[in-house]
Each structure stands twice: as C-alpha cells, then as structure tokens.
C-alpha cells in the first residue's frame, strides 16, 4: 500500500547511514558497495511486512543488512543479477554519502578491517557507527559481555597489527 511504502521510505531515510557503513565494512569498490546497498534495500523491502514494531527499526535493519553483506561476500562468483524495479524515490533515499576518506589512518583501519572474519567485521562496523554494547549485542545475538570481550580482542589485534606494520613485519 502507499502508506506502507511511505513508512518504509521514511524509516529508510532516517537510518540510511547503516547501509553505507555496513557496505563500507564489506566492500572497497564503489560500484560493489552501491550494488550491495541496492541488494540490502531490496531485501529490507521484501522483509518489511514482517518487521515487528515492538523492536527498534535500526536493530532489524542492521540484522538484514549484515546478513545480506555476509552473503554477498561469501558468493565467490557473481550471480546473474535479477533486476527488481525500484522507484526513483527509493534510490534517492539511499544515494551514496560523501566519498570515502583518503586519510592514511582511515585507510590503515580499512586494511585491518579487511583482514577480519565476518562476525568481527560486523562487530567493528556496529562499534564504529557509535552503537552501544547492548545494541550491538541485540543485533548480533550476543551477550553484552561477549561484545565487550570480542571488541577488546579486536582492539588488541589492531594494536599488534599496527606495531607489525610499523616495524615492517
């Protein structure tokens, strides 16, 4: 219905940063990131009828976006793309934000993230978006303690990786 579509577009607009941060965590190529965002939007729309408003939209959106991103990365061969017509308003809603940074520290962090496993990438993407441990735990189905432990391990890996990179190892 038009009301459902309007509600979806409003929520998508409010939370579109989630799509871009998740796609940036899983893809470096701009065209691939845009394809991934489109895949996420399609899946969000297909699933919107099952969204339970008792839960935060951002949590539901993160779950779907991360599942789509992980599936996207897992597929080693490019599948024939099935085009799903989306209205222009929908694509304008998720238009790409400013171009990625060329700051050296940012680029180093991206290289590090590229080396992480799927769950750690999801964790760090949620953390870098400024989500609290309880929100990260809810999205990923972990305890808050487990989120803290995993983030501390990732930070330790980052410190070790940075030392090794600086020493040329």
Q: Each residue of 28-39: pLDDT tens digit? A: 788 888 889 999
- Using DSSP's 3-state secondary structure scheme, residue 44 falls into helix
Mean of pLDDT over the chain: 82
pLDDT > 50? residue 77? no
Q: At a CB cut-off of 8 Å and minimum separation 6, what does 93 contact?
A: 9, 12, 13, 16
Q: Specify whether the CB–CB gap between 26 and 72 falls below 8 A.
A: yes
CA–CA separation, 106 and 92 (whole Å): 27
Higher-pLDDT residue of 67, 167? 67
* Residue 140: how many other CB atoms lie within 10 Å: 19
pLDDT in tens, 26-68: 887 888 888 899 999 999 999 999 999 888 999 999 999 999 9
Does 105 have pLDDT greater than 90?
no
Predicted confidence at residue 125, as pLDDT, reads 87
**pLDDT tens figures, 126-149:** 888 888 999 899 888 889 999 999
**Contact status, residue 37 vs residue 20, Cβ threshold 8 Å:** yes
Q: Is the pTM of this model over 0.75?
A: no
């Amino acid at each position: 219905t038009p009301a459902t579509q309007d509600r979806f577009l409003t929520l998508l607009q409010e939370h579109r940063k989630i799509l871009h941060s998740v796609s940036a965590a899983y893809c470096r190529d701009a065209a691939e990131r845009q394809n991934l965002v489109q895949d996420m939007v399609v899946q969000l729309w297909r699933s919107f009828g099952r969204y339970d408003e008792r839960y935060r939209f951002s949590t539901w959106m993160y779950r779907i976006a991360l599942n789509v991103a992980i599936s996207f990365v897992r597929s080693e061969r490019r599948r024939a793309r099935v085009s799903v017509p989306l209205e222009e308003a929908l694509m304008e809603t998720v238009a790409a934000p400013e171009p990625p940074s060329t700051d050296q520290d940012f680029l180093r962090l991206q290289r590090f993230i590229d080396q992480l496993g799927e769950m750690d990438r999801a964790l760090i993407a949620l953390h870098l978006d400024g989500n609290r441990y309880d929100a990260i735990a809810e999205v990923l189905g972990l305890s808050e303690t487990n989120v803290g432990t995993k983030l501390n391990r990732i930070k330790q890996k980052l410190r070790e990786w940075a030392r090794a990179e600086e020493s040329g190892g």
